[in-house]
Amino acid sequence: MRHVFFVFQLVSVVVYLGMKILIILLLSISIYSNTLAQNQTEKKIAITEIALITKVANLDSLLFAAYNSKNLDLMKTFFTKDLEWYQDNGGLIGYEKVFENFNSIFNRNYDLKRNLIKESLEVHPIEGYGAIEIGKHQFKHIENGKLEIGTFKFLMIWKNDNGHWKISRVVSYDH
């Protein structure tokens, strides 16, 4: 009888340990699956973020190619009509005044050029709207035979309207 009781206890311990191993195995599989799914999601997000950064950087380049060539009509296509432009040394101005200012800049006696400081570029998605572009840029011109360079900070809100990207808000600062 003692042998039967011992065998019964031995079987109980084996079943108990087997259940623990099975639970640990199932938990391990679950954690691995969740980690794998998370990694796949992170890869998709990373690809999406790279595509967004590339898109906004390309739009920035096209916009300021128009600026550097003084093409006011082309520049207008990059902005929404309800544009709000906030400038630390000039206050809030709207679409019409922004382009009056650009026209004035383009009619000066010197050639003003803008260059993005590429390593400063940040792009962040805005769910259901578009993206935020943050960075620094330099404006250069020759005045009285001397190269003048100004480095300033900016933040632009890009609105994605069914694949048509336009800037709806600008914050230009650190002048």
DSSP conformation letters of 34-50: HHHHHHHHHHHHHHHHH
Specify the pLDDT at position 8.
47
Specify the pLDDT at position 86.
98
CATH code where residue 35 lies? 3.10.450.50
Supply the range of the domain harboring residue 126: 2-173
Contact 113, 140 (CB under 8 A): yes
Query: What are the CA-CA distances from residue 157 to residues 5, 80, 111, 150, 172 (Å)?
Result: 77, 11, 27, 22, 12
Confidence of residue 32 (pLDDT cuts 50, 70, 90): low
Specify the pLDDT at position 34.
56
Predicted confidence (pLDDT) at residue 11 exceeds the cutoff of 70: no
Closest C-alpha to 173, from 133, 142, 135: 135
- Domain total for the chain? 1
Mean predicted confidence (pLDDT) in 111-132: 95
Specify the pLDDT at position 30.
59
